Each structure stands twice: as structure tokens, then as C-alpha cells.
Structure 1
Amino acid sequence: MAHFRQFAFKKFGYFDFAGDLPEQLSEHAFNSFIKVVFVKAGGYAVIDFNEYQLQQDALFFINADQYFKFSDTCIGTLLYYNRDFYCVEIHDKEVACDGILFHNVYEIPVVYMDADISAAMQQIIQDVKAELEQEESSMEEMLRILLKKIIIKSTRIWKREHQVESEEAGQEVEFSRKFSQLVEWNFTQHHTVAEYAELLHITPKALNKRISRYSNTTPNDIIKNRIVLEAKRLLVHTHLSIKEIAYKLSYDDTSYFTRLFTKQVNTSPQAFRLQYQQA
């Protein structure tokens, strides 16, 4: 089943899939939408070149323009919406459209669910589907409430799993989210820890300490990984030359960019592109 609704500039829709997700995605341009994907156990997912084996039912939270793929054995439901639909007067930063699940410096957000939690989430998704069958004047707001329920419940699960329940830990996660946003907005122009420390009004040393507190990664790793991720996307999904990709990422010296990519990925940009073309 599939449904789509548009409320002025606000868009929301869903479709069920059962091994035919690639075909359904190819029928429409979904890249610009934020996506919440419920998928049953079995098969695997690839999100931005990272593979996840699905041994439990799971929810994936995928940003606009983020590369993703699900194996042809996957069964589930894909909800999709634009920023205008959900980013309206949301005061709780944790569950906003730029919240923990969508801008997270530590990992791609996925929530694995036991049977009870999965059943509860599936019921909310069923409520979404039922609401889309109605012609009520309050449909838009009800859909937003149901979507927020999914995001709130998932955020709580993520925080429990990552032991983010104390006030201090919550403050650190909020700080990491803010840093994550800055990297997402500025990675094509700002490449150094010092530049982001200045934006956050702290020293580079303090930034390193705060980001490393809950992870083995460093701010420099996060910045470089985001740059390299964008390079991978451009190498695989466009025909831009290596020089053009370097320039797009604000590297005037193509050789320096190539060395950076090779160091991070253990293969050159051209070899990486050829690997995916052959696959």
C-alpha cells in the first residue's frame, strides 16, 4: 500500500515494501525527503556505505540526500516527509527534525526493537495509515502527532541503550548534536577543529575533550569522515571528476584531497569509484 498527502508546502507519505524497495524508490524522487524506515528482522541495510545485519526489527532514521539501500529480502514500511511538515514550532530539541536521531556524531541512528516495542511501533504506523484513509480537516496535525510519537519513543530507546539518562550526559549529547549540526552545515568550507571550536566559543582542547568523552572518536575524525562521506557520495552517484569533487569540497589542491581520501579510506578516489561501478 502507498499514500501521499500534500498540505500547502508540507508533504507526507508512506509505502509498504516487500523485497521491491529498489523498484519503488526508482519510481519517484525520494532523496529530498527525511525518511523513517521500519523493517522486519532478516536481510541487511546499507546506510552511507555501512552495512547493518537485521537480526531484530529495526527503525532507521535517514536524512535527506543520505544514501541507503535495503536487501531484496527486507519487508517493512517507509515513511517520508519534508522539513516543512515536521520542523514547525518544535521546542524539544531532542526530538526536533535536527534532533538526536538525525544529527548524531557517534553513529548512524538505528533503533533495534524487541517484540513488544516493535508491536507498539507497528501500531503507530497502522494509525498513520488509517489516518491517511480519512478526509478529516485535522489530518495534518494528527499525522504530525503520530510521527512525533515514533520519534519520541525511538529517542528514549536510543538514550537508554547509550546510557544517556543523567542530566550531565544529556547536556553532553545536546552539545554533540550542536557540533554535529555545525559540521553538517559547514563541512564544505570549514575543515579544522579550530574553526568549529571558534563557532562554539570554546578552545580546540575543550572541544576535543567534550566530544571524546562518550566516544573513541575525535572532532577531527568527525570532520574528516563527513568530508570523505560526501566525496564517496559524489564519486558513486555523480560523474564529477576528482578535481571537480575536490573543488566542491573547497580543496584547491587536488593532490592534497586525494591524499586525505586515500588515508581515510585506504584506497584512492578513482579506485573507490571503479570498485562501485564494477559492483
Structure 2
Amino acid sequence: MSATVFTNHVKTLGLLPVSREEMASLNGPDFKQYIKIFYLPTGFKLRVDFSVYHTVQPTLFFISPNQYLEIEEVGLENGYFIYYNRDFYCIQIHDQEVACDGLLFNNIRNMPNVEVSDEEITYLNYLFKEMIQEFKLGDSSLEEMVRTYLKQLLIRATRSWKRQHLAGTITDQPSDLEFFRQFTRLVEAHYKSKHTVADYADLLCMAPKTITHKFNRLRLPQPNEVIKNRIILEAKRLLVHTALTAKEIAYELGYDDPAYFSRLFMAKTGESPSSFRANFFR
């Protein structure tokens, strides 16, 4: 498959093969800024932030621009890679569930993957072939057609993600599902400045206890843990991928007392920020 890309002013969407020949390019900085979707057959190994995934069956991965990604091993069959920016597709009002801040990206479960059933494999192979054909045609309707295919992929993947990762806890409760998404988006937007459940209760116009009760009913981790886990994840990224000191990272994440931040990091990870950095590169 040849490289295919649509670009028009500020909008970009590209489709590439995932193969051994493309590994260096895909792991490089060229695609960091984009929202990314990988469709990988069996035999692939990739690292997303600090988790390693092996594909034992075809799997979709959804990667946000702020996440670290590295493909470490490729399978015998090539995969597909879609990359696009928010200007190409990120509908905040109408398609919230499948938008770039929907369930598939930056979710509370921190699970960026969806295993694909046999039925979905057939559909996805058809979808990617249709997208490639659209690029070959180069028709004036290319942008709308490939956006339509992208939306179909996101909708079907979101349905599968809910079945696989929510285990039926809230999929039949639309209001709770919307709360789940809303809390996720707020944490992602404000974790550097808002560190307590009370902070998010103010944003949601509800009592902190109400949030806790909702999380208990949905069998999710406690909301305070969700907030702290997001902060610690960013701290780990900064420790590994930047030269910032622990004190500078504390300030970056909104903590005026670096010692307090170090204690929090120790409590959540079992090691100090400096030890975490040293051990990662050992």
C-alpha cells in the first residue's frame, strides 16, 4: 500500500501501512502531534506510555498526541495506521462519545485498545480498502468520504470498547455513561491545576459525595485515585521524556511544595521521582 494523505489548509488525515520498513518512521517524532489509530494483526508488540501490549488477535489502538508510543515488534501481516488532527475530526458538541476526547482516548480505565472480533475484522478490512480506493480516486468529495469512514470506525470501536472494558456496569445507563465521559474530560483538561474531588465537584455543580457515590455505583476506582493517577502518569512521562528536575515537574503539575509532590509520587509508585527515572533507564 502506498502512502496516502489528505491535507487542506489546517486539516490533515493520513493512512499508512504498519510494517517493518515503516517502524523507524512511525516511532519517530513526525506523528507525535496527531491523534492516532492503529489496526494491528497478531504478533505485534507496542508500548503505550508505561504499558506493553502484545496482539494475540487483531487489535485497534487509540493514541492521543500526549501519549508516548513505540512499536517494538511487528507481526507477519502488515497493519494500518490512521493519523489525523483535531481540525479534521473532533466534534465536541454532537459526536461527543466518538470525538477525540471520547471514550477511546484518555479514558479513566487508561485502556487504549479494543480487541477485534472475526465479524469486525471483515468490516475493518473492507473499510480500509474503501479508504485506500478513495485516496486513489482523488475526487473532490475525498475529505467527506474519508471522514465518514473514520466516524464509522470510531462508532463501532466505541461500542466494542464499552463491551470489553465497562463489563456491562454502565452501558445501560446513558446518564451515568455521560457522567463517566464528562469526568474523564474534566480531569484531562484540569489535572495540572485541580487536584481534589471538591475541585471537580465545583465544575460539575454537585457535591463531592455525589461523585463518590456515582463512582461506587459504577464500580470505578475512587475519583480521588483517578485524579492522582492522571497526575502521576504525567509525572512519569516528564521524568522519562524530559530533562526536568523533580522540583520543576512538581511546579509544572501545580504543586507549590515539591516535597509534598515527592511524597505523593512515592505513595503511588513505591519509589521517589529520581529513583523512578534512574530505574527506567537502567
Match of 1:110 in 2: 113
CA distance in 1, matches of 2:140, 2:83: 21
Displacement after TM superposition at 1:84 (Å) = 0.4
1:232-271 counterparts in 2 under 5 A? 232-271=236-275
Letter of the aligned partner of 1:139 in structure 2?
L
CA distance in 2, matches of 1:27, 1:220: 35
1:155-166 counterparts in 2 under 5 A? 155-161=158-164, 162-164=166-168
Aligned residues: 278
Question: Given that residues 103 and 177 in structure 1 are in contact (C-alpha distance below 8 angstroms), is that contact kept between their aligned partners in structure 2?
Answer: no
CA distance in 2, matches of 1:234, 1:129: 37
Q: What are structure 2's unaligned runs of at least 5 residues? A: none
Identity of aligned residues (%): 40
Letter of the aligned partner of 1:13 in structure 2?
G
CA distance in 2, matches of 1:198, 1:117: 41
Distance 1:163 1:216, change over 3 A: closer
Q: Residue 189 in 1 paired to residue 193 in 2? A: yes
Runs of 4+ in 1 over 6 A off after TM superposition: none
Match of 2:98 in 1: 95
CA distance in 2, matches of 1:165, 1:229: 25
1:35-114 counterparts in 2 under 5 A? 35-74=36-75, 75-88=78-91, 91-114=94-117
| Larger displacement relative to structure 2 (79-88 or 120-129) | 120-129
Distance 1:90 1:144, change over 3 A: farther
CA distance in 1, matches of 2:124, 2:55: 17
Letter of the aligned partner of 1:206 in structure 2?
T
| Larger displacement relative to structure 2 (95-104 or 5-14) | 95-104
Question: Given that residues 191 and 227 in structure 2 are in contact (C-alpha distance below 8 angstroms), is that contact kept between their aligned partners in structure 1?
Answer: yes
Displacement after TM superposition at 1:218 (Å) = 0.8
Q: What are structure 1's unaligned runs of at least 5 residues? A: none
Q: 1:122 aligns with which of 121, 125, 138?
A: 125
Letter of the aligned partner of 1:135 in structure 2?
G
**3-state DSSP of counterpart to 2:266:** helix
| Larger displacement relative to structure 2 (24-33 or 258-267) | 24-33
CA distance in 1, matches of 2:230, 2:94: 27
Question: Given that residues 13 and 79 in structure 1 are in contact (C-alpha distance below 8 angstroms), is that contact kept between their aligned partners in structure 2?
Answer: yes
C-alpha deviations, 1:132-177, integer Å up to 9, x for none? 2222111000010000010011112123333559775232121011
Displacement after TM superposition at 1:56 (Å) = 1.1
RMSD: 1.9
Letter of the aligned partner of 1:97 in structure 2?
C
CA distance in 1, matches of 2:194, 2:170: 32
C-alpha deviations, 1:42-86, integer Å up to 9, x for none? 233322212223211100111112112222224411100000000
Question: Given that residues 106 and 215 in structure 1 are in contact (C-alpha distance below 8 angstroms), is that contact kept between their aligned partners in structure 2?
Answer: no
Letter of the aligned partner of 1:138 in structure 2?
S
Distance 1:20 1:225, change over 3 A: farther
Distance 1:250 1:165, change over 3 A: closer
CA distance in 2, matches of 1:36, 1:196: 30
1:145-184 counterparts in 2 under 5 A? 145-161=148-164, 162-164=166-168, 168-184=172-188
Question: Given that residues 17 and 80 in structure 2 are in contact (C-alpha distance below 8 angstroms), is that contact kept between their aligned partners in structure 1?
Answer: yes
Question: Given that residues 21 and 72 in structure 1 are in contact (C-alpha distance below 8 angstroms), is that contact kept between their aligned partners in structure 2?
Answer: no
CA distance in 2, matches of 1:90, 1:160: 24
Match of 2:17 in 1: 16
1:204-223 counterparts in 2 under 5 A? 204-223=208-227
Letter of the aligned partner of 1:83 in structure 2?
R
Displacement after TM superposition at 1:9 (Å) = 0.8
TM-score by length of 2: 0.92
Distance 1:185 1:41, change over 3 A: same
CA distance in 1, matches of 2:22, 2:225: 33
TM-score by length of 1: 0.93
